[in-house]
Structure 1
C-alpha cells in the first residue's frame, strides 16, 4: 500500500519558515525540551520495515540475523526461542564508505541529533568486537534527494563514533533539520561496519511544537542598529542577523556565517555579545 506523505496544513506553515538559519533560531531553542524523543525506538518509534540498509552481512549459518532491525539502539545479542542467533547490531556486507543504515520516520520530523553504539557482544561466544569510529549523517524529505549534516562553513561533519561496544555516544546538531528519512553513513570502523543507533527529535505535528511555531510566526523583530543580510564589502566582524534576535552573523572576507546565540540569549549589536537583555534587538507581537 502506498504511504500518504501529504503534510498537515500547519506543518506546511512550519516548512514555510524553514531555512538552515531559522532552524537555529529561538523557536527550536525553546522547543528542545519537548522535542527530545527517540524516533526509532521511543513511544512514537518505527516498525522493523522502516529500517533498511545499503547491505546486510551474509552468514554461512542460515539462523543468523544481521538485518537492519538489529540496529535498534538497545538491541542485544541472543539466541531467540526459535533458535535464531539475533546478532548484537546491524552489520554491513561490504566494508567501504558507501554503506549506511536508514530509517524512515512515521511522519516528517524535526531531527535534533543522533545516538550511536557499537555491536553488543554475545557472552556465549564473545562475538564480536566491532564498532563505527567516525560517521556522517544524511537526511531527506523524499528518500531521493539527500543532504549531509554540515557545519557553518558548509563542510560535511564527521561525527566521532564509539570507543567501546555499549556506551552510547550522543551528537546534537548545531542546527536541527526537517526530514522524513535519515541515514548513518560510516566512514571509519574497527574490525567491521556494525552499529546500533537512534535519532533524537519529534514529529512536526507535535501539538506543543505547533503552538511554539504559531507563537514564533506572530513575533516581529525590532532592531536598533539595523542588521546584515550579506557580507559583500563589509568589514570583517560580527553583526546582527536580520532573521532573529537570537542570531548573529560573522563576516569574513565577504563570506557570511550565521551563528545562533545560546538558548534564551539575544544578540546585542552594540556590545557584540549574546545577552539575556539585548539593548539593540527585541520582539513585539
Structure 2
C-alpha cells in the first residue's frame, strides 16, 4: 500500500495497553503455479513412484519443478506405465490446469508425450480424471524438452493429493510440471499488530456506514474504538466533522459508478490473509498475482484485494521488485513482465489513478513508446510500455 512506518497506526501497547497476541487467519492462495510459485510447496510435498538409478538427488521428484534451470528433472526408475509423480497440497485445492515440460538436458531428448491425472482427498482412495463417458482422459504432453504444454481440467477437480501418471514418453519417463488453482490455509499473525493506511472504493457519501462515535477527538481514538469492536476490521476518520465510521462492510460491497477512492485504515490481518508481503525494508506491502490477465482484469483483481496496481515511484522500490522476480524461477524464466500502475494520457504517462506524471528515470531503454501500447509493465530493465490487452502477471500495492 505504499505506506511508511510512520503512517502505521499501532494498537496494542501504544493505544490499548493490552497484551499483543497471536491468532489464525485464513489465507487464500491462487496461482497458475501452485507448486513452484512465490507461495510454492516444500520439497517434502513432492514424491514419486521411483527414481532413475535410485538417485533422488539428480533424478528425484524435487527436480520436477517447472523451469528448473539445471540439467535434472524427475526421471522414473523404470520405463513403464506404473510410474507417477505426486504432489500434496496444504488442504483441499481447486485444481484448474496441469503444466508439463520435458527434461532440460541436451543431448538427451526426454519428455512425456501423454499422461493420466489421478487425485485424492486422503492419499488412499484415488480417482482418475475422466471424460463424460467415464473413461480416463489421456492428456497431451510434450513434443520437445522445453516447451510448456498447459492442459485445462474442465470442470476443475478438488483434491489434496494429485498424481501425474505418464502413459507414453520419448527416451525416458522424465518431466517437470506445475499445477494451477486455488487453496485456503490458516496462517498465524499478530492480531493486534496495527492498521494499514490504504484507499478503498466506496460510495461518495459515506453516511451508509455505521458511526462508531460522532465526537471523536483524534485518529488514534478512532482506531481504538474500531479495535474494541469485535467485528470492526476497517475504519475511516473525518477530522473536520470528528466522525469515526466502521467501513468494514465496504470491503465486500458491489461498487457502482458513483464510487470514489476513500482513505481508510484496515487491519493488517486482512492483507496478510490476502497474501500481501512486506518489502525487505518493511516500509510497504506488495502482492504479486501469479495469474495471467489483461490490464483491466489485473486492475480489477487488485481492487478485489482492496488495493490497486502498484505505483513504482523510486529506483530502490523498483530494484526490490526486480530482485523478487529474479529470485524465483517461475517469474524469472517465464513471467518477468508484470502490469503495474501507469497509463498513457497524451502527452504524458501518468499513474493509473490519473494523478502525478511518472518519473522518466524509471523507464527501460527505448521506453516509453505509445506505439508499444498505452499501459505500463515492470521488466528487469525498468518500466516499459505494453499493449493493455496482453496477458501478464501483475503487482498490487
| Aligned CA distance change for structure 1 residues 63 and 35 (closer, same or farther; 3 Å) | closer
User: Cα distance, 1:44 vs. partner?
Assistant: 2.3
Higher relative contact order (CA 8 A, sep 6+): 1
**Alignment partners' CA distance in 2, 1:64 and 1:47:** 15
What stretches of structure 2 of length at least 5 have no aligned partner? 1-23, 187-251, 253-397
For 1:44, which of 30, 39, 60 is the aligned residue?
39
Q: Give the corresponding residue for 1:176.
A: 156
Poorly superposed stretches of 4+, deviation over 3 Å? 34-37
Give the TM-score of the pair, scaled to structure 2: 0.38
For 1:106, which of 83, 90, 108 is the aligned residue?
90
Deviations 1:228-281 (A, max 9, x none): xxxxxxxxxxxxxxxxxxxxxxxxxxxxxxxxxxxxxxxxxxxxxxxxxxxxxx
Give the TM-score of the pair, scaled to structure 1: 0.53
Q: Between Structure 1 and Structure 2, how many residues are aligned?
A: 164
For 2:65, which of 72, 94, 115 is the aligned residue?
72
Deviations 1:86-135 (A, max 9, x none): x42100011110100000012221111100000001xxxx3421000000
For 1:120, which of 89, 99, 104 is the aligned residue?
104
User: Cα distance, 1:41 vs. partner?
Assistant: 0.5
The alignment yields a C-alpha RMSD, in angstroms, of: 2.8
Normalized per residue, the structure richer in helix is: 2
| Aligned CA distance change for structure 1 residues 109 and 94 (closer, same or farther; 3 Å) | same
**Alignment partners' CA distance in 1, 2:76 and 2:89:** 21
**Alignment partners' CA distance in 2, 1:127 and 1:46:** 30
Q: Answer whether contact 2:90 2:185 (CA < 8 A) is retained.
A: no
**Alignment partners' CA distance in 2, 1:127 and 1:67:** 20
What stretches of structure 1 of length at least 5 have no aligned partner? 1-7, 11-33, 78-86, 207-213, 215-285
Structure 1 or 2, whichever has the larger Rg, is 2
| Residue correspondence of structure 1 range 28-177 to structure 2 within 5 A | 35-58=30-53, 65-77=58-70, 87-121=71-105, 126-177=106-157
**Alignment partners' CA distance in 1, 2:73 and 2:148:** 13
Q: Answer whether contact 1:100 1:186 (CA < 8 A) is retained.
A: yes
**Alignment partners' CA distance in 2, 1:106 and 1:63:** 23
User: Cα distance, 1:74 vs. partner?
Assistant: 1.3
